[in-house]
Structure 1
Amino acid sequence: MNAETRTQGSYWLQTAPRGEPAPQPSGDITVEVAVIGGGIAGLSTAWELVRQGREVAVLEADRIAAGVTGHTTAKLSAQHTLVYDHLRRTRGPEGARLYARSQTAAIEHAAGIVDELGIDCEWEEASAFTYAEDRRRVGELRAEAEAAREAGLPADFVTESELPFPIAGAVRVTNQVQFHPCKYLLALAGDLRRRGGAVYEGTRVVGLSEGEPCVLRTDAGVSVRADEVVVATHYPVFDRALLFTRLSPRRELVVAGTIEEERAPRDMHITPEQSTRSVRSAPYRDGTRLLVVTGEHITPGTADVEERFARLSAWAGDRFEGFTVTHRWATQDNDSTDSVPLVGPMRAGSDHTYVATGFGGWGLSGGIMAGRLISDLVHGREVEWAGLYDPRRLGTVVREGATFLKNQAKVGRHFLGDRLSSVTRPLTPEDVPRGEGAVVRVGARHCAVHRDEKGELRAVSARCTHLGCLVAFNRAEQAWECPCHGSRFAPDGSILQGPAVRPLERRDIGSRDT
């Protein structure tokens, strides 16, 4: 990979037909339903509600379809690596069946929407494979194939694939889909507007008062009154139910590039080995396809991302002859402690506030499922899998215990350990090289100091404005990241990704009082 062939940024965002940003609200507004977040979960929910006659406003802090959904691998599949054997053991056969039915119904629903609206989103049916190269994992794969088949998926165990390297075995699920997520969502948003729904971009919601009605407050001081509120911000920006204790953020890297059409895989492949490797291809140009390779799962702010990008690119180049990198980007998702998304009423007593989060890397089918589920709940309709996804679900303490404790221990290590390491290995602003950032002690406070390529320093508070963990610098993406709950900030402290709703405060590193 070299500078001439690499384009920083998501291929999906670069090739989506996007117009001028939608305006912010010009004043206070009142709607029946306010949806916070313009990704696939938020827009799917809003579209379902508008189609059923509700007055809806979508409030997006940046641009719609430009966050996590715009940086996905774009697989629309009910085969989620090795989830079904796990569900069979923790939720029983019925839990696994409901999961499979709900995810499959989401894919079928999306297919109907594509046909109904005539969306040109590069829709391609494909089989989904979860494979392993290590023969010691064959038993695990056989169990997963059996569990997925019992759950109702068209699944089987195979020992061959179209991959250009040998595998020990794989779970194959047929009749799955890959597509262009941004083209799909922008078409959905266009139809939402035509049906009378409102979309506001550049509108960050920073306050929520639950009641009848609920009242939202934006960073521009605008109030939004709504009978119902849906928090679809990926990681909940409002968390009265302490869902952050049941979510673990992870960052995932993506490289994409050209490959000769005859060498490109037409199915979708993923392995849990080697810190995950996920492969698919997409339409590109005559004679070539775009190979999209995902992997290197890391906790935000805890790894040398540049080195991890190089490792992922080298793996793709070694395994796929003629692969030439053209794009690279990163995405982020949250794993729930019991491997099932949290979709439904935010907490006990939340009669008018809903949440959708914890999709574990499978947010496309999960987001479409969430849109239908929340719409049905708002209208008082029963859904057979509502209990499976309910954030208030009982019994999770027992099922989640070990993972819950592990997550909290990790957060504790960062909350306390990062502070201690900054004392035992002190830095000064002068120690920060160009293009880098570091947490330093200036006076009595921790400062996040960044030096740009011109040599100019800027400093902000190193305490994440969500819950106060110390941020760390991601050199490859030039961002401050919180390892506890995944908030991300630009070098100047402005918010790139929640759950934080306030920027990092600026610091004057010329003063010992900072």
Structure 2
Amino acid sequence: MTDSQPLPGQYESFWMATAGATGHPALNEDVTVDVVVVGGGIAGLSTAWELVTAGRTVAVLEADRIAAGVTGYTTAKVSALHTLVYDRLRRTRDQDAARLYALSQQGAVERVAEIVAMLGISCDLERAPAYTYATEPAAVPELRAEAEAAAAAGLAASYVDRTDLPYEVSGAVRVDAQAQFHPRKYLLALAADLRAKGGLIFERSRATGLTEGSPCRVTVESGHTVTARDVVVATHFPVFDRALTFARLSPRRELVVAAPIAAAIAPTGMYITEEDGKRSVRTAPLDDERRLLIVTGESFTPGTGDPREGFRRLDAWMRARFPVGGTAYRWAAQDNDSTDTVPLVGPFHAGSRHTYVATGFGGWGMSGGVMAGRLLTGLVLGEEPPWAALYDPRRLASTLREAPALLRQQADVAKHFVGDRLRTTHVDSVAQVPPGTGAVVRVNGQRCAVYRDADGVASAVSARCTHLGCLVAFNDAETAWECPCHGSRFGVDGSVLQGPAVHPLEQRNVSGG
């Protein structure tokens, strides 16, 4: 039986609902530039803007609309405090690695503030402290160690036992001079300046082919090509995989709810805790009297879990702790975690000379994307920053510190790739799929992803993801088919919503609907 209870709020990202639409042309002819950037999120646009500002000719290829993918559904914290990363880095690598991580991430925070001032961007940029906190006393030693490690790495970090949250904490790491903003307002202004400087932006131009060489060529689904000396792949999860990058990334999806709160009592900092399955809290301006409280959590692997119940749990958690009004928005964000917790930014593979990648930001894509723009621009210009080696994707994946996470990731993929095929189908026939939901059904020996709309009309596509062939599952809270192996997402008509897949699910004819 389907769950007919309404979910809290409008299913829309606040950032998408409060910034203008874009209408850049599709690529309809072959072009030649110095650099082609594949992906129009914060990493891609930051890289393109830095390169154009440095005097290079650049073309951006975006499969849908710029700043409307992962970047349009973030919580938009621009912070160098990434939960508990600094103590982990100094233990698993060394103190210098922690220092370089802090230098590069705080540098990204300052770069955003610099660009906002330089271009006069109105994007609700606010400087605020960031906190990693816990309510359980057992977590205090870990928090103290993180505060000491972050301070030793060069951040304005300290251990505190009081915050402006409306509930008690046992302790927290505080880092000053962080930021939060409206990501789409920022990026649309960046894109406008990019074009004013001569950069090219092509939307609805999904890249489907990459030929490396001198020069390189990127082909889009229309058949047109961009020829360039250098290629940057900044598609969140790489749509081309020349170095088995997919084996080092774990996709996860997180839910978001947002509700108005009186400005006078709204938290002024940005907060995150790993308790309760992770909870992230920040606010954004609404009007003179109110702010929007944004709460994130309830992580799950795409294609698994129960997002509807997750939205309800997250909303209940928010209401139990904050005096908010009616829930205004709900949405979901997708992230990729690298197996050693450090993003992969740099040369695409061991043989790369002119191809680069940016991925694996682990939920910190705002600072990570800006950092990637600076790093990749330096590599293209032959001016390698001191922290390039820290993020280099060519670092060995077989080291002892990364091997356990790598094996866990591949075991999870294998479980879905093999196990999902051994399971019986979710329902026995197309007729059993209720209106407003979807299920995988075996029809004439083939597994089909069948969706029945609210009017009772059934449609079907292949249930095999076009990336590597895992079986998709239906997310009824977001009305999408999702691949649990590498996070590709598809509309009910089979269209690609999110990579690494670049081809739609094949159409299927079913009867009995």
Q: Do both proteins adopt the same fold according to a TM-score greater than 0.5, normalized to the shorter chain? A: yes
Are 1:40 and 2:36 matched, yes or no?
no
Deviation at 1:397, TM superposition (A): 2.6
Residue pair 2:8, 2:330 contacting (<8 A) in 1 also: no
Match of 1:101 in 2: 103
Indicate the residue corresponding to 1:483 in structure 2. Answer: 484
Cα displacement string for residues 360-403 of structure 1 (whole angstroms, at most 9, x for unaligned residues): 00000000000010001001112110000000013653221110
SS of the residue corresponding to residue 324 of structure 1 reads coil
1:419 maps to which residue? 421
- Where 1:109 maps in the other structure, the secondary structure is helix
Rounded to whole Å, the distance in 2 between the matches of 1:101 and 1:14 is 34
**Aligned residues of 2:159 and 2:173 also touching (Cα < 8 A):** yes
In the TM superposition, what whole-angstrom CA distance separates every residue of 1:157-200 from its partner, at most 9, and x where no partner exists?
A: 11111111111111111110011111110000000000000001
Instruction: Say yes or no: does 1:508 pair with 2:509.
Output: yes
**Residues 1:169 and 1:396: Cα distance change in structure 2 (over 3 Å):** farther
Which 5+ residue runs of structure 2 have no aligned equivalent?
Answer: none
- Aligned-partner SS, 2:276: coil
Query: AA paired with 1:450?
Result: Y
TM-score computed with the length of structure 1 as normaliser:
0.97
Structure 2 matches for 1:28-427, cutoff 5 A? 28-394=30-396, 397-422=399-424, 427=428
AA aligned opposite 1:64: I
* Residue of structure 2 equivalent to 1:436: 437
Are the equivalent residues in 2 in contact too, given 1:79–1:173 (CA < 8 A)? yes
Cα deviation code 1:429-469 (max 9, x no counterpart): 11110111111111221111111100010110000000000
1:483 aligned partner, one-letter code: P
Aligned letter for 1:221?
Answer: G
The CA deviation string for residues 33-59 of structure 1, in whole angstroms up to 9 with x for no partner, is: 000000000000000000111110000
Separation of aligned partners in 1, 2:123 and 2:406: 39
Deviation at residue 4 of structure 1 after TM alignment: 11
Q: What letter matches 2:127 in structure 1?
A: E
2:10 paired residue number: 7
Structure 2 CA distance, aligned partners of 1:403 and 1:50? 38
TM-score by length of structure 2 reads 0.97
1:448 aligns with 2:441: no
Across the aligned residues of Structure 1 and Structure 2, the Cα RMSD in angstroms comes to 1.3
Counterpart amino acid of 1:124? E
The number of equivalent residue pairs is: 508
Report % sequence identity: 61
| SS of residue in 2 equivalent to 1:193 | helix
**Alignment partners' CA distance in 1, 2:243 and 2:378:** 22
Shift in CA distance, 468/99, structure 1 to aligned 2, threshold 3 Å: same
Q: CA deviation at 1:324?
A: 2.3
Asked if residue 23 in structure 1 is aligned to residue 28 in structure 2, the reply is no
**Aligned residue type for 1:131:** Y
Tell me how far apart the structure 2 counterparts of residues 194 and 142 of structure 1 sit (CA, whole Å).
48
Distance of aligned partners of 1:397 and 1:427 in 2 relative to their CA distance in 1, 3 Å threshold = farther
Please tell me whether the aligned partners of residues 7 and 312 of structure 2 are also in contact (alpha carbons under 8 angstroms).
Answer: no
What letter matches 1:464 in structure 2?
Answer: C
Q: Judging changes above 3 Å, is the alpha-carbon distance between structure 1 residues 436 and 3 closer, same or farther for their aligned structure 2 residues?
A: closer
**What is the identity, as a one-letter code, of the residue corresponding to 2:467?**
H
Q: Is the 8 A contact 1:265 1:280 kept in 2?
A: yes
Q: What residue ranges of structure 1 are gaps of 5+ in the alignment?
A: none
C-alpha distance in structure 1 between counterparts of 2:449 and 2:492, whole Å: 8
